[in-house]
Amino acid sequence: MGRKLKTGLLAALALIMFITAAGSAYADQLYLNELLEAAPHLQVLKEGPVMRVVKPKDPEPIVEPEPAPAPAPTPRGKVALTFDDGPDLVNTPKILDILRDEEVTATFFVIGEKAERYPEMLARIHREGHLIANHSQTHADFAELTNEEILAMELEPTSQTVQKVAGYYSMIMRPPYGSLRQDSVTYLREQGWQIVRWSLDTFDWDNSRNSPEEIIERIKTQHHNKAIVLMHCNGPTTIQALPDVISILRSLGYELVAVDQL
């Protein structure tokens, strides 16, 4: 083999090796590019002439600090939820369900005629720990009655029904419509009656302004220690608003009690 040919072959061989190496590097580069496109989180490390792909270590899990427990609301006192005009078979059981679920004790000012009609519901009110008080026999306007009529026709029959079912003669009364002459106030007090009106009217009895939002707004703006909240057993909005009424009053720091515990 001539020297020239040998040199030529060597040169050709070198050229082939160069092209192969270059092609290989190009291929690696392509591979890396594709890989990085597919997985941009990968890091490329250079170690001398060699390039390799290293998956980063999994980051340390972020440990969220335990959220501090909500501070207990500052005790503000007591509030009594009261429900008038029951018992009935539609709304009273739903109110009782909510009170039971929320572990709230309330006061029911019942109408004697309804208590006679639904003694089982009256018994449930008593069984579940609520206070039963007197809201008259027929929901008459006491301003139209003599003091003796108020006592004989409206208050006594109702408390007798309560006694039959609950075992105690209620001497706590709320006049229908809050209507009571001053001489009747004096007379009933002398007879030992405790007259309980209200200090926070939710207006749940008034269809023109008793949306749950309006009821809740009144609670938020008018709450106070020893508030007596007026609600009724005769409206669906009472039931809609009641869970929020309870949670708002509790978050404000009030203990919910029967009227004889204020």
Nearest CB to Zn ion, comparing residues 85 and 204: 85
The correct pick among 79, 85, 218, 246 for binding Zn ion (CB under 5 A) is 85
Between CA 50 and CA 52 the distance in angstroms is 6
Q: Which of 204, 232, 244, 260 is catalytic?
A: 232
Enumerate the β-bridge partners of residue 54.
43
Query: How many residues would you count in the chain?
Result: 262
Shortest Å, Cβ 156 to Zn ion: 18
CB 82 within 8 A of CB 229: yes
223 is catalytic: no
Q: What is the number of the residue whose Cβ is closest to Zn ion?
A: 84
- Quote the tokens at residue 61: 């899990």
Contact 115, 158 (CB under 8 A): yes
**Smallest distance, Å, CB 176 to Zn ion?**
5
Round to whole Å and give the CA distance between 89 and 102: 21
Integer angstrom CA distances of residue 47 from 18, 44, 54, 226: 22, 10, 11, 78
Q: Would you call the peptide bond into 87 cis, given omega within 30 degrees of 0 as the criterion?
A: yes
Q: In terms of CB distance, is 84 or 154 closer to Zn ion? A: 84
From residue 170 to residue 189, the character string flagging contacts with Zn ion as x (rule: CB under 5 A) and all else as - is ------x-------------
Q: Which stretch binds Zn ion (CB under 5 A): 49-57, 74-82, 121-129, 169-177?
A: 169-177
Q: Is 154 a binder of Zn ion (CB under 5 A)?
A: no
Among 80, 81, 82, 84, binds Zn ion (CB under 5 A): 84
Is 126 a catalytic site residue?
A: no
Nearer to Zn ion, 87 or 176 (CB): 176
d(CA 160, CA 52): 93
Q: Which is nearer to Zn ion, 204 or 246 (CB)?
A: 204
Q: Which of 28, 58, 84, 260 is catalytic?
A: 84
Distance of closest approach, residue 125 Cβ to Zn ion, in angstroms? 16
Total site size for Zn ion, rule CB under 5 A: 3
For residues 127-165, one letter each, b for 16 or more C-beta atoms within 10 angstroms of the residue's C-beta and e for the rest, the string is: eeebbbbbbbbebbebeebebeebbebbbebbbebbeeb
Pick the closer one to Zn ion by CB: 198 or 254.
198
Stretch that binds Zn ion, among 1-9, 12-20, 79-87, 248-256 (CB under 5 A): 79-87
Which residues have a catalytic role annotated? Answer: 84, 232
Binding site for Zn ion (CB under 5 A): 84-85, 176
